[in-house]
Structures are given as C-alpha cells and as structure tokens.
Copies of this chain bind each other. A is one copy, B any other.
Amino acid sequence: MDLIDHTHDPARRSWVQSANGHSEFPIQNLPFGVFKQGGRQRGGVAIGDQILDLDAALELGAFSGDVVDIARTASLDRLNKFMAMGKEASTSLRSALSELLSEHNPNAGKLTQALIPQSDASMQLPCDIGDFTDFLTSLPHTDRLGRLKGLAEPVPAAFKSLPVAYHGRSSTIRVNGTPVVRPTGQWRRADGKLVCAPVESLDYEVELGALIGRGNELAVPIPVGQAQQHIFGYCLVNDWSAKGIQWFEQILGPFLGKSFMTSVSPWVVTSQALVPFRSPARVRTDDDPTLFPYLVSEADLASGRLAVELSANLRTAAMREQGAPGRRVNVSDLQCMYWTFAQMLSHHTSNGCSLRAGDLLASGTLSGETPDSMACLSERTAGGTKPLDLGNGEVRGWLLDGDEVVIEGHAHKAGFVSIGFGSCGGVVKPALYKD
C-alpha cells in the first residue's frame, strides 16, 4: 500500500532552484522518463526545468545499497524493466531521489554534473507499450455521444455493470510533440454520399493513462484490492480521432478512426507521487446496478480516484503567427469517472488476460457535465454542427490543419504541493493522400 511519507512533505525544497514552485516538477513529483541527449537514449527524472541523468548520477556514486541496482535499471533506454520490478523498487528509488535532490543534501554540488536542461534533451516514449487498452469511463461523455448518435439507449446496460473498453493500436503511440497527419479514409458526407478523402471530422480526446508495473500471469486475475499495486504511474493521453471514419467503420469497435496516432506525455508520474491526491470513488446511487464482488474493495471505494485536473489548449496557426497564446478549450477532472483505475485493471484481468509492464490503460475521454468540461470537439460542437468560438474571430467545428492541441494535467489538494504531468501535444499536418 502506498503511503504519504517524507517525499510528499510540502516543506521539502530542492537545491535545483527551478524545482521550487515549479508548476509541474517540484521535488514532490519526481516523474520518470526516457530522454535522448548526446546521441544516447536513457532514463531520467524531471526536477524543475532539469533532468537528473540517472546514469551520470550512478557514475558519481550518488546511490548506495539496493538502490544502485534499481537506479541502474531505471537508467536503461526503456523503463519496462524498472516498471516490472514493482512498487517496492520504485518507492525505494523515489525515496533516495528525494534525499539526493533535497536542499539539505550535502553532496548537491557534485550532483549538478548529472543535471541536463530539459531544453537540451529530446523526450522519448517512456517504455515499450505492448498493448494499449482504452476504456469508456465518463458517464456524461457516453450519454452525450449516445444521444448525438440518436441511440435508443444512449448509455448501454453494460456500461454500469462493467468498465467497457476496446483494444487500441500500440504501434502508433507517439510522444508529445509528434505532429499528427490528417488521415484519409472512407466516411459519409453530410449529404449521405460515401467518400474516400482526408477526414474533416478530426478530433482530440483528453484522457489519463495508467502504465502497468508488475504484470500478471495468463489466467490469473488481479483482485481489485491489489490492482493499485500493479500501476506504476500515469501519463496524459490524446486519443486523436477521425470521427467520420470511426462512425462508418464501427462494427467491431474503433479501428482506423483511432489507429493513425495516439499521443502520450513523456513523464510518468508515479503512483507514489499521487498518493496525497487520492480521493473517494464515485458514490453509487440506487439507480446503479449492484456490482459483482470482483469490482468492489473497501480501499478502492475510500481512495480509488485521483484529484487531477485536465485541460486542453487549442492554438491555431493564426494565433501562432500573431504570437498569441492558445485558447483553453476545456477543463475537467477525474470526478467524472464512473469506474476507478483499479476497477478497470481488475476487470481487464478478470477473464485471465495478462498485463505486461509498460501496457497502457487509458481512461477514455474525460468529459464532465458542463460545456467547459467537454473533453473533445465531438461533444463541444455537437458533432461539428455548433462550432466553438475561439474568441479571436476563428471558430472550430473540428480541427483544421495547423491547429495545435496541448493537454496538461495537475494534481491539487489543500495542504500539499501541486504536481503536474507535463505536456501532451501535437500540431495537425495536412493529409498526405487524397486517394
């Protein structure tokens, strides 16, 4: 069980000055990632606007005891092996890093040699993502899109009995900053004619993703009460969607409408860093069906959600040319989640499906009840029919070429230092093929 400890102490400050008061990466965060610098790819930790190069820190003899092996594993060119070591390992390394980066560390001077400015490094995918699963956990999102499609039953019966999900494409997951090329495909125009053309209804979807730490054997489910122990950490996810393609093709679920690209943020905020921000799961009402026992645990009910706020910023090409900032197009939080990540993970393995270190479980679009909390354009513009006013004379029904979408996430709770997830963004590029 993850607990609040000295690494979360709000009074703790770092000798890396940019970390103190940093909106994303104060010493209370310490997210892991993989970066390339000087031609070499390796693991590091974000601290303020710097990266602590674990390899360099090992060279400097910064770690001792069991932590040496753990830090060495975390310094590899992918985090999978470190993730697979489990919670004890990541908790030990976090604790050691917190000491090393604390302003009270007498050896701080030497460690400055292990710092690399984030601006000098190129962030990579943190791990090999073997399988990517995307859930459907926001009730307002499900209900709203069901009504938009004119479904007789906007929220299907199964939605409240189990966490609905589909398998996503892992080969096209890319890290923050990778441009998204508008896909070409088959879709129906407003006049009903089927065309094969660059899709007009290009959308973003704001999601949070859990990355698996220690996995499970085939046929052996992970009980919901143990599920949190199998989540290494979290990242931001933008599930770019070609809605027209998705609507026409969808017989066995999303396929080409989603598989052209999914963006993730490069820094993995660990489960341990998020402990202070745990909050009670959604209270089930009398209208909700009784859950089967495999989806219920007292600990999960008490602290199964996270107090994380997510937003998306849309910056058009015109805004960039004018040097203007983008427009924040939505702010939502994880209160809209009908299911907790522990329930999603446990359900995922309930049939014996095995998860591997580095697998990604995304939340699905995290839309709340209000217009400002609608976390995709499909909802915000009612399927492109009610364009969003961007306030600078531009409107958007769907994303246009040149638009940049950047997702951010922050965990807040009174009495604790807020931590952030960094950025998950990309610019829309024109279609390569017109067929």
Pick the contact of A167: B194, B259, B293, B348 (CB < 8 A): B259
* Contact A171/B355 with A220-B432, A292-B196, A432-B219 known, Cβ cut-off 8 Å: yes
* Contact A171/B131 with A221-B433, A259-B353 known, Cβ cut-off 8 Å: yes
Pick the contact of A352: B250, B255, B260, B289 (CB < 8 A): B260
The proximity string for A residues 287-307 relative to B, scoring 1 for CB distances below 8 Å and 0 otherwise, is: 001001110000000000000
CB distance from A374 to the nearest CB of B (A): 19
CB atoms of B253 and A196 under 8 A apart = no
For the complex, give the distance between the alpha carbons of A368 and B249 in Å: 24
CB atoms of B171 and A130 under 8 A apart = yes
Q: Please, which residues of chain B bring their CB within 8 A of the CB of A435?
A: 292-294
Closest residue of chain B to A242 (Cβ to Cβ) is B351
CB atoms of B355 and A156 under 8 A apart = no
Q: Please, which residues of chain B bring their CB within 8 A of the CB of A183?
A: 350-352
CB atoms of B252 and A164 under 8 A apart = yes
Q: Count A interface residues, CB 8 Å.
A: 62
For the complex, give the distance between the alpha carbons of A242 and B255 in Å: 21
Interface residues of A in 144-197 (CB under 8 A from B): 156, 158-159, 161-162, 164-172, 174, 181, 183-186, 194, 196
CB atoms of A186 and B162 under 8 A apart = yes
Q: Please, which residues of chain B bring their CB within 8 A of the CB of A294?
A: 196, 435
The proximity string for A residues 242-286 relative to B, scoring 1 for CB distances below 8 Å and 0 otherwise, is: 100100111111111101110000000000000000000000000
* Contact A167/B164 with A251-B159, A292-B186 known, Cβ cut-off 8 Å: no
A356 close to B (CB within 8 Å)? yes
CB distance from A226 to the nearest CB of B (A): 14
Interface of A is mostly: loop
CB atoms of A219 and B167 under 8 A apart = no
CB distance from A198 to the nearest CB of B (A): 10
* Contact A252/B181 with A186-B292, A292-B196, A354-B171 known, Cβ cut-off 8 Å: no
For the complex, give the distance between the alpha carbons of A134 and B255 in Å: 11
A203 close to B (CB within 8 Å)? no
The proximity string for A residues 210-231 relative to B, scoring 1 for CB distances below 8 Å and 0 otherwise, is: 0000000011110000000000
For the complex, give the distance between the alpha carbons of A156 and B194 in Å: 14
CB atoms of B167 and A168 under 8 A apart = yes
CB atoms of A164 and B293 under 8 A apart = no
CB atoms of A253 and B256 under 8 A apart = no
Pick the contact of A253: B156, B184, B220, B252 (CB < 8 A): B252
Q: Please, which residues of chain B bring their CB within 8 A of the CB of A168?
A: 167
CB distance from A256 to the nearest CB of B (A): 4
A53 close to B (CB within 8 Å)? no
Closest residue of chain B to A220 (Cβ to Cβ) is B432
Q: Please, which residues of chain B bring their CB within 8 A of the CB of A353?
A: 169, 171-172, 256, 259-260
Q: Please, which residues of chain B bring their CB within 8 A of the CB of A257?
A: 351
A77 close to B (CB within 8 Å)? no
Residue of A131, A172, A255, A257 ringed by the most chain B CB atoms within 10 A: A255
CB atoms of B172 and A218 under 8 A apart = yes
Pick the contact of A255: B167, B174, B356 (CB < 8 A): B167
CB atoms of B351 and A219 under 8 A apart = no
For the complex, give the distance between the alpha carbons of A169 and B184 in Å: 26
Closest residue of chain B to A356 (Cβ to Cβ) is B171
Pick the contact of A136: B174, B184, B185, B251 (CB < 8 A): B251
A359 close to B (CB within 8 Å)? yes
For the complex, give the distance between the alpha carbons of A293 and B433 in Å: 12
List of 3 A-B pairs having minimum Cβ-Cβ separation, nearest first: A253-B253, A183-B351, A166-B252
- What would 18 A/B residue contacts be, using CB atoms closer than 8 Å? A130-B130, A130-B170, A131-B169, A134-B252, A156-B251, A158-B251, A161-B248, A162-B186, A162-B249, A166-B166, A167-B169, A167-B253, A172-B218, A184-B221, A184-B351, A196-B292, A259-B353, A260-B353
